[in-house]
Structure formats: C-alpha cells, structure tokens
Amino acid sequence: MRAMAESRILQGRTIASKIEAGLQAEIARLPAAPQLRVLYFDSPASRVYWHAQQAAAARLGIRTGAPGNDWKTGSIELPWDTPWTQVERILQAWNADNSVHGIFVHQPMPPQIDAQQVSASIDPRKDVEGIHPENSARRFFARARIGSCTALAVMELIESTGIALEGKEAVVVGHSDIVGRPVSMLLLDKLATTTVCHVGTDRAGQLEAHVRRADVLVVAAGRPHLIKGEWVKPGSIVIDVGINVKDGHVVGDVEFESAKKRAAAITPVPGGVGPVTVMMVMKNTVEAFKQQTGRA
C-alpha cells in the first residue's frame, strides 16, 4: 500500500449519522417501536456508554423503558456488589417479556459476575450484542443473524475507506469475545489474511513484527498507547478500539499523533469506533424486533 502525505481521520460520528438516517426510515415502517433494555454496573465508563445509547434510542424512537432504577419498567444501573442471583432474575424476566426485543449488558462486570454466564443467560433472539453461544457459533460459520456491535462497527469503519480486503494482511491485537475474536472472523469472511495477536504475542516479543506487516490494523487490547506510531505500516488502515484514561485524558491503544503520520486512515479516540458501535446496538435491536415479529 502506498504511503500518503496526510492521514484521513475516520470520524465515527459521520458514519454513525448515515446509519442513523437509514434506521429512522426503517423504524418508521415498523408497526410498533422496538424496546431495548440495558443493564450495567456502577462505573463511569458504563454510565457514559449508557447515556450515549439512551440518547441514540430516543432520537430513533426505540424505547428503553421508564427512567429510574426499576428493572421492571426500564433499563437499570446496579451496584458493583450486586449478586449473580439478582442479575439472573432480571435477565430471566426480560427474556420472558414479549414487549422487550433487545437486551444489552455492559462490561466491565464485577468479579462475582461471570461474563460468559451472563451472555448464556440472555435469550439469543434478544441478544443485541451477539455474544450468546448460539450467536457466536453462527458467527463462526458466517451465518450470524445478529453480530457483535463493536466488531460490526470496526468493519463499517474499514469499509468506509473503500479498501478491498481480499488478500490484505490484517492484524487484530486483542482476542476478547466481544471484539478481537468476532472481528477476526469478519475479516476472514472478507478473505483478508488475518493474524490475531494477544498477550502471548507481546510476551514473546513478536507484537511489533506483526504490527509492522499490517495493511489493516485493529487494536482492542485495553492498554494505553500499546502500539507505537513508528510500528504502523505506511499507507495502512488503523482502527483503534481502545478507550483508556492516561494523565487525565482519554486515549486509545495506539499512539495517535505519530501513527497518523504513517497511516492512510486512522480512527481517533474518542470519536472513532464508539459512535458507530452505539448505532450498531440500535441496528441490532431493530433486527431483533423484526425477527421476533416475523418481519425479518
């Protein structure tokens, strides 16, 4: 890939606005408004994410329930020490409620809550994050009905560059269930030659070597400035999923200022992947509604 004099900054809000416009038209044709229920634990990051979801849902006419902390009537924030039995009770109630079409549980989760147990407890038809084992299995065979919101957002950002992924060297840094793994599957579906790096790669001292080969680099490691700008291949596409606080500032997993001098296109943090991910939650909620009401 040819180096560019100036990097294109992939503004997530611009792409999210286009998706939102399409969803508004689609929702206007539905017989009723979809309903999304969100559960999150007391943390600043989750609270910010929830407010972004709530604002997007309100603009689109997607119901999130009555305001407040009553899970029987709306989405809810739970204390960090909430036991699993209470979380399970809430999820079971939302599963059984036919007026609820989508369920989303935020990470991070407290240590007494098993994230995999949470994902397995959500009705797969209402799993708008695409993390239920059934949906994960469908993703493995490229037959997912509802995909991982963040992974889908990453692909939207990559596709906005116009790059043809077939045969390109794609490197994913991070192998989480909600980002790294599903992104790698989606890249493989596009016939990219895909490498997944993780903590073992870093410990072996091989991370830099893999990153330097990447035509498309997706980083979701949760470590501020893990990827040095000088590692970035000239002319590559860089998608930074990381959200970290360093010296009082929100930063990504990639050294943005130095990386943008080498990349053809790069996402900022914040303002890159985040807005598109929020809109993918809304899109998946609409898709879940259509499936449950026989309009898919």
- Rounded to an integer, the average pLDDT of 193-214 is 98
- Rounded to an integer, the average pLDDT of 202-228 is 97
pLDDT digit string, tens, across residues 177-188: 889 999 999 999
Q: How far apart are CA 136 and CA 156, in angstroms?
A: 19
- Rounded to an integer, the average pLDDT of 40-44 is 90
Q: What is the CATH number of domain 148-274?
A: 3.40.50.720
Sheet architecture: strand order including 265-266:
8-9, 265-266, 237-240, 216-219, 169-173, 193-197
**DSSP-based helix, strand, coil % in the chain, nearest 5:** 40, 15, 45
Q: Is the pTM of this model over 0.95?
A: no
Domain 32-127 shares a fold with domain 148-274: yes
Q: Has residue 5 got a pLDDT over 80?
A: no
Residue keyed to tokens 């303002």: 271
Residue ranges covered by each domain of the chain: 32-127, 148-274
Dihedral sign, Cα of residue 85, residue 90, residue 95, residue 101: negative
pLDDT digit string, tens, across residues 121-177: 999 999 999 888 787 777 666 666 688 899 999 999 999 999 999 999 999 999 998
Q: How far apart are CA 32 and CA 30, in angstroms?
A: 6
Q: Assign domain 32-127 to a CATH class.
A: alpha beta
Confidence label for 18 from pLDDT (cuts 50, 70 and 90): very high
Confidence label for 2 from pLDDT (cuts 50, 70 and 90): very low
Confidence label for 116 from pLDDT (cuts 50, 70 and 90): very high
- Rounded to an integer, the average pLDDT of 232-254 is 93
| pLDDT cut 70: percent of the chain above it | 95
- Rama region for 65: left / alpha / beta (φ>0; ψ in -120 to 50; rest): left
- Rounded to an integer, the average pLDDT of 19-46 is 94
